[in-house]
Amino acid sequence: MEARASAKYLRGSPQKARLVVDMIRGKNVNEALAVLMYTNKRAAHGIEKCVRSAIANATEAAEKANVAVDPDDLWVKACFVDMGPHKNRRRVRPAPQGRAYREQRHFCHITVLLSNDERETAAGGRGKAGVKTSPAGKPKTSDKGKNSPARAGETAAAAGAASKRGAAKKAAEPGEVKVTKAKASDSSAAKAKGGDSSAAEGSAE
């Protein structure tokens, strides 16, 4: 069940009101009211009144539909701020280089949407899509994790393959040493044979 409330022509710029609205989006109603109560912003008071109005609208709609709704289960599903009119005060403020800036009063419109449905985290870096959360907003944990049997089997297979590669490398090292030794012995024998032939030629002369 959803309930909506809006506050029109609140004093203050939309940019400053959005700073407060962003703090309560997706929170439980009680948490949102606590945040607004202790927020030192001008727009917090008007947004708090809008949230309380949305809670009252939800309870009234539930009574009309003969449905039981617990206000503590409501959470802020959506809240946004729209730009209102700019009131020209016909006054100016001195500016550099002899200029003058006009003073304007900004107004904004706030809309709050409450719901008691189960929340699903969005896939925008806050969590995986389709993950259901509890009424408090915490994701439901599952037993699947790092210590699952499938993951343990994969790690064991990887360790076995690594050990086989290490054993094959160690087995190949002695053979290479033997080859190098054989090459060294052949080269020494060739040098000795060359030395004997040169000595024979000298004696013949």
Domain ranges in the chain? 2-88+102-115, 170-205
Q: Which of 17, 15, 157 is nearest to 7 (CA)?
A: 17
Homologous superfamily (CATH) of 2-88+102-115 is Ribosomal protein L22/L17 (3.90.470.10)
What is the number of other CB atoms lying within 10 angstroms of the CB of residue 77?
Answer: 17
Sheet holding 2-11, edge to edge: 2-11, 100-115, 75-94
Whether the CB-CB separation of 103 and 93 falls below 8 Å is answered with: yes
For residue 191, the SS3 value is: helix
pLDDT of residue 110: 96
pLDDT at 118: 82
Predicted local distance difference test score (pLDDT) of residue 90: 80
Looking at residue 111, what is its pLDDT?
96
State if pTM tops 0.85: no
Q: What is the pLDDT along the chain (205 residues), one digit of tens a residue?
A: 899 999 999 999 999 999 999 999 999 999 999 999 999 999 999 999 999 999 999 999 999 988 888 889 999 999 999 999 988 778 899 999 999 998 889 999 999 999 988 876 544 444 444 455 555 555 555 554 555 555 666 667 777 777 777 666 666 555 444 444 555 555 555 566 555 555 445 544 4
